[in-house]
Amino acid sequence: MKNLLQTSDYIVLAAYFVLVGLYGWWIYVKKRNKEVAASKDFFLAEGQLTWWAIGASLIASNISAEQMTGMSGSGFYLGLAISSYEWMAALTLIIVAVFFMPVYLKNKIYTMPQFLHQRYNSRVAMIMAVFWLLLYIVVNLLSILYLGGVAIAGITGWDFTMCVLLLAFFSVIIALGGMKVVGYTSAIQVFFLVFSGILGLYIALNMISGDAGILKGFSILRKEVPQHFHMIFDKSNPNYIDLPGLSVLIGGMWIANLNYWGCNQYITQRALGASLPVARKGILFAAFLKMLMPVIIVVPGIAIYYLYQHNMIDRSLIDITKDGVLVADNNKTYPTLLQLLPDGIKGVTVAAFAATVISSLAAKVNSIGTIFTLDIYKKTFEKEASERKLVNVGKVSIIISTIIGIILTLALGDALMGEGKQGFQYIQEYTGFVSPGIFAMFLLGFFWKKTTSNAALFAIIGGFVFSVLLKFLPGMINLESLNAIGFAVMNKEGVFEIPFLDRMAIVFFLSVAGMIAISLYENAKGIVPNGLEVDTKMFKTSTSFAIGSLIIIGLLIALYTAFY
């Protein structure tokens, strides 16, 4: 494969990683003695992250290869509608800041299994701790490493395996510095992420307009590919099965977002070590950044689609051979965009992208280390372990989980996300097998004191079983009759199936109904659950937070009105 980077790009790339590495090392050394003495400082950076570092870390950990590579590819294939994951997430973050964070912080909850242990029992907590480890390694590490490796190999011409190994190595170096290093280096990554995204968008739109400016380019884009600028699909749209109409506003999209942002160790870990005012400011900052993400990720993907269709770029950069036919590989959209950049700038952009992937990987393996150390090792193997021992166990678990992630990526990555598959949609669908049950368990655990431990177990196991049944139901019975009421559509194989966002909503309500029934039955038998401390005064926000939230809501209304 041709090497597409010049000497100037390598200089910039090397300088970036040296500077960020030195900055991370300086943060680590500055508080090294304290961090070695306290495991919570290593895992949570307790009380040491500012609001802007929390917000930037949330976004840098979220916007990684699955967004930059996967979502830009979905922009190429689906259009602006994929932006609902980002824009609805902004509103979700506000809900999490107002209602979820006060409960976590008031009850001194630092990990998700800890919440489950405190609210339900040790059996529920241990089952979910093991499950989360498997989910983070098998789904998240694999997808981030694979999509990140595809993108970097595509722009540099380097060997894919080498790209995967380099990403994993640098992420471990950052993660071993602890949560505080992850948090503060993430702020740097977000700056370059936004910079490179805006630059790539500018160049692509300017190419479309023939150097007549980006506004002209955007106008041409909207006029000539109008099908890519509908936020809400109707049933006649061939992509309805991926984003089923109003479900993105009132259905399963809420389950996906609320579970991800409110019940996810990998994400909430950034704010759990802060005070409530600081955590809320950081989350609101992240919400504003989420509003910007489609501009620098999705719209460039649409622009690449236009350039591809009009032969204004080398189509071989995107085309792959599948079953003897040339097809566009959506996952190559972002590396194709990077190749449009001038020499020198290309190095900055590759560094920015690699940095976000590394930041996300570092945050993910830090969360893996946190859950394994505090919720499995300490509770099962060595309850009296010293703080130093816990930190060392956490570091070892970080290294081992990364090695497993590398092996899975190289063995299964192509089969799961190669050959033109939408990487982002793959992640969303298969995470959705478990998120409805988990969210139901958390939601009722927060706000309904009568919820019992057996009801929580039902949500974990039953939610997964319901998801599997609904996924494979089309292979057992014909669901065409559900098409009339909007609960089934024909897929590419000509089989009627339920869109995965709708499946998530159905499973969520089934899980909630089952939990309520089990809880009421056990309440009648005299079983009294362990309710959390919840005071409605906790949900009161500052005036500045309320104003910021209203601005985001106004922007969302305007965007969905303009692009409905």
Average pLDDT, 10 consecutive residues per value, the chain (564 residues): 68 76 66 50 56 78 72 90 93 94 84 83 86 83 86 82 90 66 61 77 92 93 93 86 86 90 74 81 93 91 93 84 75 82 76 76 81 84 81 86 92 71 70 90 91 94 91 72 66 78 93 96 88 82 95 95 91
Determine the pLDDT at residue 280: 93
Determine the pLDDT at residue 419: 54
Sign of CA dihedral 307, 309, 311, 315: positive
pTM: 0.81
The CA distances from residue 519 to 276, 439, 454, 546, in Å, are 31, 17, 8, 35
Q: Considering only CA atoms, which of 431, 417, 99, 424 is closest in space to residue 260?
A: 431
Distance CA 265, CA 288 (A): 22
- Maximum CA pair distance of the chain? 74
3-state secondary structure 212-261: CCHHHHHHHHHHHCHHHHCCCCCCCCCCCCCCCCCHHHHCHHHHHHHHHH
Determine the pLDDT at residue 329: 81
- Domain 7-19+43-427 fold is Sodium/glucose cotransporter (1.20.1730)
Determine the pLDDT at residue 29: 67
Q: Is residue 205 exposed (0-12), middle (13-18) or buried (19+ Cβ within 10 Å)?
A: buried
**181 near 174, Cβ under 8 Å?**
yes
What mean pLDDT value characterizes the chain? 82
**258 near 447, Cβ under 8 Å?**
no
Distance CA 356, CA 179 (A): 15
Delimit the CATH 1.20.1730.10 region(s) of the chain. 7-19+43-427
Determine the pLDDT at residue 65: 66
And the tokens for 432?
């959705």
Strand-pair partners of 321: 326
Determine the pLDDT at residue 37: 45
Residue with tokens 């950081």: 282
Q: Considering only CA atoms, which of 296, 325, 362, 291 is closest in space to residue 145?
A: 362
Q: What percentage of the chain has pLDDT greater than the value 90?
A: 30
**297 near 64, Cβ under 8 Å?**
no
Sign of CA dihedral 82, 247, 466, 516: positive
